[in-house]
Amino acid sequence: MKTANLIEALVADRAAQGRPLARGLVGALVAGAAASLALFLVEFGVRADIAEALVTWRFEVKLAMVFLALGLAYSLCVTLSRPVASGRVAWRLAPLAALAVAVVAIELAVLPTAAWVARLVGSNAVVCLTTIPLLAIAPLAAVLWFLRRGAPASPALAGAAAGLLAATAGASLYAFHCFDDSPLFVVTWYVLAALPVIALGAILGRRLLRW
Amino acid sequence: MRLARQGNEDAYRQVLGRVSLWLRSVVRREMVAAGRSAADCEDVVQETLLAMHLKRDTWDDTQPLEPWLRAIARHKLVDHLRRRGYRDHVSIDDQAECLEAATDPDADARTDSRRLLESLPDRQRRIVEEISIEGRRAAEVAVRFGMSEGAVRVTLHRALRALAALYRKGQS
Protein backbone atom coordinates (compact mmCIF):
# COMPACT_ATOMS: atom_id res chain seq x y z
CA MET A 1 0.00 0.00 0.00
CA LYS A 2 1.33 3.42 -0.84
CA THR A 3 1.86 5.85 1.96
CA ALA A 4 -0.52 8.33 0.37
CA ASN A 5 -3.19 5.61 0.38
CA LEU A 6 -2.58 4.84 4.01
CA ILE A 7 -3.00 8.52 4.81
CA GLU A 8 -6.43 8.49 3.16
CA ALA A 9 -7.46 5.61 5.40
CA LEU A 10 -6.19 7.43 8.48
CA VAL A 11 -8.02 10.63 7.55
CA ALA A 12 -11.26 8.70 7.09
CA ASP A 13 -10.93 7.13 10.55
CA ARG A 14 -12.06 9.50 13.22
CA ALA A 15 -12.83 6.92 15.83
CA ALA A 16 -9.53 7.11 17.67
CA GLN A 17 -10.32 10.61 18.80
CA GLY A 18 -11.46 9.80 22.27
CA ARG A 19 -11.12 11.78 25.41
CA PRO A 20 -7.73 13.18 26.23
CA LEU A 21 -5.63 10.70 28.13
CA ALA A 22 -5.62 12.60 31.42
CA ARG A 23 -9.39 12.82 31.67
CA GLY A 24 -9.99 9.27 30.54
CA LEU A 25 -7.66 8.01 33.24
CA VAL A 26 -9.80 9.70 35.90
CA GLY A 27 -12.83 7.86 34.54
CA ALA A 28 -11.06 4.50 34.61
CA LEU A 29 -9.77 5.13 38.12
CA VAL A 30 -13.21 6.13 39.40
CA ALA A 31 -14.78 3.04 37.83
CA GLY A 32 -12.19 0.75 39.42
CA ALA A 33 -12.36 2.53 42.75
CA ALA A 34 -16.17 2.25 42.75
CA ALA A 35 -15.87 -1.55 42.62
CA SER A 36 -13.38 -1.44 45.48
CA LEU A 37 -15.63 0.93 47.42
CA ALA A 38 -18.47 -1.60 47.19
CA LEU A 39 -16.14 -4.35 48.41
CA PHE A 40 -14.90 -2.03 51.16
CA LEU A 41 -18.39 -1.20 52.41
CA VAL A 42 -19.51 -4.83 52.41
CA GLU A 43 -16.40 -6.47 53.85
CA PHE A 44 -14.70 -3.78 55.92
CA GLY A 45 -16.68 -0.63 56.52
CA VAL A 46 -15.71 2.70 57.98
CA ARG A 47 -14.26 2.51 61.48
CA ALA A 48 -16.82 2.96 64.27
CA ASP A 49 -15.11 5.97 65.86
CA ILE A 50 -14.80 7.97 62.64
CA ALA A 51 -16.33 11.10 64.16
CA GLU A 52 -13.75 11.30 66.93
CA ALA A 53 -10.92 10.26 64.62
CA LEU A 54 -11.66 13.09 62.20
CA VAL A 55 -10.56 15.69 64.71
CA THR A 56 -7.25 14.04 65.64
CA TRP A 57 -4.14 15.27 63.88
CA ARG A 58 -2.82 11.78 63.25
CA PHE A 59 -5.89 10.75 61.30
CA GLU A 60 -5.90 13.98 59.36
CA VAL A 61 -2.24 13.60 58.49
CA LYS A 62 -2.89 10.02 57.42
CA LEU A 63 -5.62 11.20 55.05
CA ALA A 64 -3.39 14.00 53.78
CA MET A 65 -0.65 11.47 53.01
CA VAL A 66 -2.84 8.97 51.17
CA PHE A 67 -4.60 11.65 49.13
CA LEU A 68 -1.34 13.38 48.28
CA ALA A 69 0.03 10.00 47.21
CA LEU A 70 -3.07 9.44 45.08
CA GLY A 71 -2.66 12.78 43.33
CA LEU A 72 1.05 12.35 42.69
CA ALA A 73 0.57 8.79 41.45
CA TYR A 74 -2.06 10.04 39.02
CA SER A 75 0.24 12.68 37.58
CA LEU A 76 3.06 10.15 37.33
CA CYS A 77 0.78 7.73 35.55
CA VAL A 78 -0.32 10.31 32.96
CA THR A 79 3.27 11.33 32.24
CA LEU A 80 4.57 7.79 31.95
CA SER A 81 1.79 6.80 29.51
CA ARG A 82 3.18 9.18 26.93
CA PRO A 83 5.84 8.29 24.38
CA VAL A 84 8.19 11.12 25.27
CA ALA A 85 10.60 9.75 27.84
CA SER A 86 10.63 12.00 30.86
CA GLY A 87 13.71 12.01 33.02
CA ARG A 88 13.64 11.98 36.77
CA VAL A 89 9.91 11.45 37.19
CA ALA A 90 10.57 9.91 40.59
CA TRP A 91 11.23 13.42 41.89
CA ARG A 92 7.54 14.05 41.57
CA LEU A 93 7.11 11.94 44.69
CA ALA A 94 9.43 14.23 46.66
CA PRO A 95 6.60 16.20 48.36
CA LEU A 96 5.17 12.94 49.68
CA ALA A 97 8.55 11.81 50.98
CA ALA A 98 9.08 15.22 52.61
CA LEU A 99 5.67 15.08 54.29
CA ALA A 100 6.36 11.53 55.50
CA VAL A 101 9.72 12.47 56.96
CA ALA A 102 8.24 15.53 58.68
CA VAL A 103 5.34 13.73 60.32
CA VAL A 104 7.49 10.80 61.38
CA ALA A 105 9.86 13.28 63.01
CA ILE A 106 6.97 14.97 64.83
CA GLU A 107 5.59 11.63 65.97
CA LEU A 108 8.98 10.53 67.29
CA ALA A 109 9.31 13.84 69.10
CA VAL A 110 5.94 13.73 70.84
CA LEU A 111 5.92 10.01 71.69
CA PRO A 112 7.93 8.55 74.56
CA THR A 113 10.60 6.20 73.23
CA ALA A 114 8.94 3.25 74.95
CA ALA A 115 5.83 3.66 72.81
CA TRP A 116 7.62 3.71 69.44
CA VAL A 117 7.58 -0.01 68.77
CA ALA A 118 3.98 -0.44 69.86
CA ARG A 119 2.88 2.33 67.46
CA LEU A 120 5.02 0.99 64.67
CA VAL A 121 3.65 -2.53 64.89
CA GLY A 122 0.12 -1.34 65.64
CA SER A 123 -2.63 -3.92 65.68
CA ASN A 124 -3.56 -4.16 62.02
CA ALA A 125 -0.29 -4.76 60.19
CA VAL A 126 -1.37 -8.02 58.57
CA VAL A 127 -4.82 -6.66 57.76
CA CYS A 128 -3.17 -3.64 56.19
CA LEU A 129 -0.81 -5.75 54.10
CA THR A 130 -3.63 -7.82 52.68
CA THR A 131 -6.44 -5.29 52.44
CA ILE A 132 -4.66 -2.57 50.49
CA PRO A 133 -3.61 -4.95 47.68
CA LEU A 134 -7.09 -6.48 47.72
CA LEU A 135 -8.72 -3.07 47.33
CA ALA A 136 -6.20 -2.22 44.61
CA ILE A 137 -7.12 -5.10 42.30
CA ALA A 138 -10.14 -3.50 40.63
CA PRO A 139 -8.48 -0.08 40.16
CA LEU A 140 -5.38 -1.77 38.76
CA ALA A 141 -7.41 -3.72 36.23
CA ALA A 142 -9.37 -0.62 35.18
CA VAL A 143 -6.31 1.62 34.93
CA LEU A 144 -4.22 -0.92 32.99
CA TRP A 145 -7.11 -1.58 30.65
CA PHE A 146 -7.45 2.12 29.97
CA LEU A 147 -3.72 2.69 29.56
CA ARG A 148 -3.69 0.33 26.60
CA ARG A 149 -4.78 3.46 24.77
CA GLY A 150 -1.56 5.12 25.85
CA ALA A 151 1.84 4.92 24.21
CA PRO A 152 4.30 4.64 27.10
CA ALA A 153 7.99 5.19 26.48
CA SER A 154 8.51 2.30 28.88
CA PRO A 155 5.57 -0.12 29.31
CA ALA A 156 7.02 -1.57 32.51
CA LEU A 157 7.40 1.86 34.13
CA ALA A 158 3.91 2.87 33.07
CA GLY A 159 2.64 -0.38 34.54
CA ALA A 160 4.45 0.33 37.80
CA ALA A 161 2.87 3.80 37.91
CA ALA A 162 -0.52 2.17 37.33
CA GLY A 163 0.25 -0.16 40.24
CA LEU A 164 1.15 2.78 42.44
CA LEU A 165 -2.03 4.60 41.45
CA ALA A 166 -4.13 1.52 42.22
CA ALA A 167 -2.37 1.00 45.55
CA THR A 168 -2.98 4.61 46.59
CA ALA A 169 -6.64 4.24 45.63
CA GLY A 170 -6.83 1.11 47.78
CA ALA A 171 -5.01 2.86 50.63
CA SER A 172 -7.37 5.86 50.43
CA LEU A 173 -10.28 3.55 51.15
CA TYR A 174 -8.47 1.45 53.70
CA ALA A 175 -7.43 4.56 55.65
CA PHE A 176 -11.05 5.00 56.70
CA HIS A 177 -11.19 1.49 58.14
CA CYS A 178 -7.89 1.17 59.92
CA PHE A 179 -7.55 2.72 63.36
CA ASP A 180 -3.76 2.65 63.42
CA ASP A 181 -3.24 6.32 62.71
CA SER A 182 0.34 6.76 63.84
CA PRO A 183 2.60 8.03 61.04
CA LEU A 184 5.03 5.32 62.09
CA PHE A 185 2.48 2.67 61.18
CA VAL A 186 1.23 4.38 58.03
CA VAL A 187 4.63 5.07 56.52
CA THR A 188 5.84 1.55 57.17
CA TRP A 189 2.91 -0.72 56.39
CA TYR A 190 1.15 1.26 53.70
CA VAL A 191 4.37 1.44 51.72
CA LEU A 192 5.02 -2.28 52.18
CA ALA A 193 1.46 -3.01 51.10
CA ALA A 194 1.89 -0.92 47.95
CA LEU A 195 5.06 -2.69 46.79
CA PRO A 196 3.49 -5.94 45.54
CA VAL A 197 0.84 -3.94 43.66
CA ILE A 198 3.53 -1.82 41.99
CA ALA A 199 5.48 -4.96 41.07
CA LEU A 200 2.37 -6.61 39.66
CA GLY A 201 1.61 -3.46 37.67
CA ALA A 202 5.11 -3.45 36.21
CA ILE A 203 4.91 -7.10 35.20
CA LEU A 204 1.48 -6.75 33.64
CA GLY A 205 2.41 -3.43 32.05
CA ARG A 206 5.36 -4.98 30.27
CA ARG A 207 2.99 -7.37 28.57
CA LEU A 208 -0.19 -5.34 28.18
CA LEU A 209 1.05 -1.84 27.45
CA ARG A 210 3.31 -2.58 24.50
CA TRP A 211 2.34 -0.69 21.41
CA MET B 1 -2.58 19.12 14.39
CA ARG B 2 -4.81 21.10 16.73
CA LEU B 3 -7.19 21.75 13.84
CA ALA B 4 -7.00 18.10 12.90
CA ARG B 5 -8.01 17.24 16.44
CA GLN B 6 -11.16 19.22 15.98
CA GLY B 7 -12.06 16.98 13.07
CA ASN B 8 -10.74 19.08 10.18
CA GLU B 9 -10.00 16.42 7.55
CA ASP B 10 -8.01 18.61 5.20
CA ALA B 11 -5.83 19.84 8.02
CA TYR B 12 -5.21 16.28 9.13
CA ARG B 13 -4.36 15.16 5.59
CA GLN B 14 -1.84 17.97 5.35
CA VAL B 15 -0.28 17.17 8.70
CA LEU B 16 0.09 13.50 7.79
CA GLY B 17 1.59 14.41 4.44
CA ARG B 18 4.14 16.72 5.96
CA VAL B 19 4.93 14.28 8.74
CA SER B 20 5.49 11.47 6.24
CA LEU B 21 8.01 13.60 4.32
CA TRP B 22 9.85 14.42 7.50
CA LEU B 23 9.68 10.83 8.75
CA ARG B 24 11.04 9.46 5.49
CA SER B 25 14.23 11.48 5.80
CA VAL B 26 14.67 10.76 9.52
CA VAL B 27 14.00 7.05 9.22
CA ARG B 28 16.22 6.64 6.20
CA ARG B 29 19.11 8.38 7.91
CA GLU B 30 18.69 6.32 11.07
CA MET B 31 18.49 3.02 9.26
CA VAL B 32 21.60 3.70 7.27
CA ALA B 33 23.33 4.82 10.47
CA ALA B 34 22.31 1.54 12.10
CA GLY B 35 23.96 -0.30 9.24
CA ARG B 36 20.70 -1.60 7.88
CA SER B 37 19.28 -1.57 4.44
CA ALA B 38 17.04 1.39 3.83
CA ALA B 39 14.80 -0.87 1.80
CA ASP B 40 12.20 -1.06 4.54
CA CYS B 41 12.19 2.66 5.12
CA GLU B 42 8.69 3.11 3.79
CA ASP B 43 7.43 0.29 6.01
CA VAL B 44 8.71 2.08 9.09
CA VAL B 45 7.23 5.35 7.87
CA GLN B 46 3.85 3.69 7.45
CA GLU B 47 3.98 1.87 10.75
CA THR B 48 4.89 5.12 12.49
CA LEU B 49 2.11 7.04 10.79
CA LEU B 50 -0.33 4.38 11.89
CA ALA B 51 0.95 4.49 15.47
CA MET B 52 0.83 8.27 15.49
CA HIS B 53 -2.76 8.13 14.29
CA LEU B 54 -3.94 5.51 16.78
CA LYS B 55 -2.08 7.10 19.70
CA ARG B 56 -2.79 10.73 18.95
CA ASP B 57 -4.63 11.10 22.24
CA THR B 58 -1.27 10.80 23.96
CA TRP B 59 -0.06 14.09 22.54
CA ASP B 60 -0.45 16.77 25.17
CA ASP B 61 -1.50 19.77 23.11
CA THR B 62 0.15 22.19 25.48
CA GLN B 63 3.48 20.66 24.40
CA PRO B 64 5.28 20.99 21.05
CA LEU B 65 4.45 18.28 18.54
CA GLU B 66 7.92 17.41 17.37
CA PRO B 67 9.37 15.68 20.46
CA TRP B 68 6.24 13.54 20.58
CA LEU B 69 6.59 12.59 16.93
CA ARG B 70 10.26 11.86 17.36
CA ALA B 71 9.55 9.63 20.34
CA ILE B 72 7.00 7.60 18.39
CA ALA B 73 9.30 7.34 15.37
CA ARG B 74 12.17 6.19 17.57
CA HIS B 75 10.02 3.61 19.33
CA LYS B 76 8.83 2.18 16.04
CA LEU B 77 12.26 2.23 14.47
CA VAL B 78 13.81 0.37 17.39
CA ASP B 79 10.98 -2.14 17.23
CA HIS B 80 11.51 -2.62 13.55
CA LEU B 81 15.25 -3.07 13.78
CA ARG B 82 14.90 -5.53 16.64
CA ARG B 83 12.30 -7.52 14.79
CA ARG B 84 14.27 -7.78 11.63
CA GLY B 85 17.33 -8.83 13.56
CA TYR B 86 20.18 -10.19 11.56
CA ARG B 87 18.02 -11.24 8.68
CA ASP B 88 18.40 -7.78 7.35
CA HIS B 89 22.14 -7.50 7.25
CA VAL B 90 23.29 -6.55 3.83
CA SER B 91 26.58 -5.63 2.31
CA ILE B 92 27.34 -2.05 1.52
CA ASP B 93 27.11 -2.73 -2.18
CA ASP B 94 23.60 -4.02 -1.76
CA GLN B 95 22.77 -0.98 0.28
CA ALA B 96 23.88 1.46 -2.34
CA GLU B 97 21.62 -0.31 -4.77
CA CYS B 98 18.72 -0.34 -2.36
CA LEU B 99 19.00 3.29 -1.49
CA GLU B 100 17.60 4.48 -4.75
CA ALA B 101 14.70 2.09 -5.05
CA ALA B 102 14.17 1.86 -1.36
CA THR B 103 12.77 5.16 -0.37
CA ASP B 104 10.26 5.39 -3.15
CA PRO B 105 7.07 6.52 -1.43
CA ASP B 106 5.05 5.01 -4.27
CA ALA B 107 6.33 1.53 -3.65
CA ASP B 108 3.24 -0.57 -3.36
CA ALA B 109 3.36 -4.30 -3.88
CA ARG B 110 6.43 -4.86 -1.75
CA THR B 111 5.37 -2.98 1.35
CA ASP B 112 4.54 -4.70 4.63
CA SER B 113 1.23 -2.88 4.75
CA ARG B 114 0.19 -4.55 1.51
CA ARG B 115 1.10 -7.97 2.83
CA LEU B 116 -0.43 -7.36 6.26
CA LEU B 117 -3.59 -6.06 4.65
CA GLU B 118 -3.97 -9.43 2.93
CA SER B 119 -4.16 -11.17 6.28
CA LEU B 120 -7.04 -9.05 7.59
CA PRO B 121 -10.59 -10.40 7.57
CA ASP B 122 -12.13 -9.97 4.15
CA ARG B 123 -14.55 -7.18 5.00
CA GLN B 124 -11.93 -5.13 6.87
CA ARG B 125 -9.46 -5.52 4.03
CA ARG B 126 -11.98 -4.49 1.38
CA ILE B 127 -13.10 -1.43 3.31
CA VAL B 128 -9.52 -0.27 3.79
CA GLU B 129 -8.84 -0.80 0.09
CA GLU B 130 -11.96 1.04 -1.00
CA ILE B 131 -11.12 4.05 1.12
CA SER B 132 -7.36 4.16 0.77
CA ILE B 133 -6.54 2.80 -2.67
CA GLU B 134 -9.75 3.61 -4.50
CA GLY B 135 -10.06 6.88 -2.62
CA ARG B 136 -13.77 6.51 -1.92
CA ARG B 137 -15.48 8.32 0.91
CA ALA B 138 -16.89 6.36 3.82
CA ALA B 139 -20.42 7.31 2.78
CA GLU B 140 -19.89 5.88 -0.73
CA VAL B 141 -18.38 2.71 0.64
CA ALA B 142 -21.37 2.34 2.92
CA VAL B 143 -23.73 2.39 -0.07
CA ARG B 144 -21.62 -0.10 -2.02
CA PHE B 145 -21.45 -2.55 0.86
CA GLY B 146 -25.01 -2.00 2.05
CA MET B 147 -23.78 -0.90 5.48
CA SER B 148 -24.37 2.25 7.47
CA GLU B 149 -21.65 4.86 7.32
CA GLY B 150 -21.07 4.41 11.03
CA ALA B 151 -20.51 0.69 10.57
CA VAL B 152 -18.01 1.38 7.79
CA ARG B 153 -16.07 3.70 10.06
CA VAL B 154 -16.12 1.22 12.92
CA THR B 155 -14.84 -1.52 10.61
CA LEU B 156 -12.17 0.81 9.25
CA HIS B 157 -11.02 1.66 12.75
CA ARG B 158 -10.87 -2.02 13.73
CA ALA B 159 -8.90 -2.77 10.59
CA LEU B 160 -6.35 -0.07 11.40
CA ARG B 161 -5.95 -1.35 14.92
CA ALA B 162 -5.58 -4.89 13.61
CA LEU B 163 -2.91 -3.67 11.18
CA ALA B 164 -0.99 -2.04 14.01
CA ALA B 165 -1.19 -5.28 16.01
CA LEU B 166 0.08 -7.28 13.03
CA TYR B 167 3.06 -4.98 12.65
CA ARG B 168 3.79 -5.45 16.32
CA LYS B 169 3.71 -9.22 16.06
CA GLY B 170 6.26 -8.90 13.33
CA GLN B 171 4.49 -11.11 10.87
CA SER B 172 6.06 -9.00 8.20
Cβ contact A20–B57 (<8 Å): yes
User: In chain B, pLDDT over 90 holds for what percent of residues?
Assistant: 8
Flag whether pLDDT at A181 surpasses 80: yes
- Using the Cβ of B107 and the Cβ atoms of chain A, whether some distance falls under 8 Å is answered with yes
Please write the tens of the pLDDT for every residue from A19-67: 678 889 999 999 999 999 999 999 999 998 888 888 899 999 999 999 9
Q: B-chain residues within 8 Å CB-CB of A11?
A: 9, 12-13, 16
Q: What is the pLDDT at residue B98?
A: 47
Cβ contact A82–B68 (<8 Å): yes
Calculate the dihedral angle through the C-alpha atoms of B55, B61, B62, B66, rounding to the nearest 10 degrees. 70
User: In chain A, pLDDT over 70 holds for what percent of residues?
Assistant: 98
Lowest mean pLDDT among A145-159, B48-62, B71-85: B71-85
Q: In whole angstroms, what is the distance from residue A30 CA to residue A38 CA?
A: 12
Flag whether pLDDT at B148 surpasses 70: yes
Residue A87 in 3-state DSSP?
coil
Flag whether pLDDT at A70 surpasses 50: yes
Q: What is the pLDDT at residue B48?
A: 92
Please write the tens of the pLDDT for every residue from B19-42: 999 998 888 888 888 777 777 788
Distance linking the first and last C-alpha atoms of chain A: 22
Please write the tens of the pLDDT for every residue from B65-122: 889 999 999 898 888 888 776 454 444 444 444 444 445 555 555 677 788 888 888 8
Q: Cα distance from B139 to chain A (closest Cα, Å)?
A: 10
Q: What is the pLDDT at residue B171?
A: 46
Nearest to A144 by CA among A92, A203, A91, A66: A203
Q: What is the pLDDT at residue B109?
A: 54
Please write the tens of the pLDDT for every residue from B2-19: 666 666 778 888 889 999
Q: Cα distance from B122 to chain A (closest Cα, Å)?
A: 16
Q: Cα distance from B171 to chain A (closest Cα, Å)?
A: 15
Across A172-180, average pLDDT: 93
Q: What is the pLDDT at residue B92?
A: 46
Q: In whole angstroms, what is the distance from residue A139 CA to residue A160 CA?
A: 13
Cβ contact B58–A13 (<8 Å): no
Distance linking the first and last C-alpha atoms of chain B: 30
Q: Of B118 and A175, which is predicted with more confidence?
A: A175
Mean pLDDT, chain A, integer = 92
Q: What is the pLDDT at residue B100?
A: 47
**Interface predicted TM-score (ipTM) of this complex, two decimals:** 0.79
Closest Cβ–Cβ partner in B55, B71, B135 for A85 = B71
Q: What is the pLDDT at residue B91?
A: 46
- Using the Cβ of A210 and the Cβ atoms of chain B, whether some distance falls under 8 Å is answered with yes
- Using the Cβ of A87 and the Cβ atoms of chain B, whether some distance falls under 8 Å is answered with no
Say if CB A132 and CB A166 are below 8 A apart. no
Closest Cβ–Cβ partner in B51, B59, B157 for A211 = B51
Size of interface A-B (CB pairs under 8 A): 123
The percent helix, strand, coil of chain B (3-state, each to 5) is: 75, 0, 25
Nearest Cα residue in chain A from B43? A3
Q: What is the pLDDT at residue B145?
A: 86
Q: What is the pLDDT at residue B101?
A: 47
Going from the C-alpha of B124 to that of each of B51, B121, B153, B156, the distances in angstroms are: 18, 5, 10, 6
Residue A116 in 3-state DSSP?
helix
Q: In whole angstroms, what is the distance from residue B51 CA to residue B150 CA?
A: 22
Q: What is the pLDDT at residue A55?
A: 87
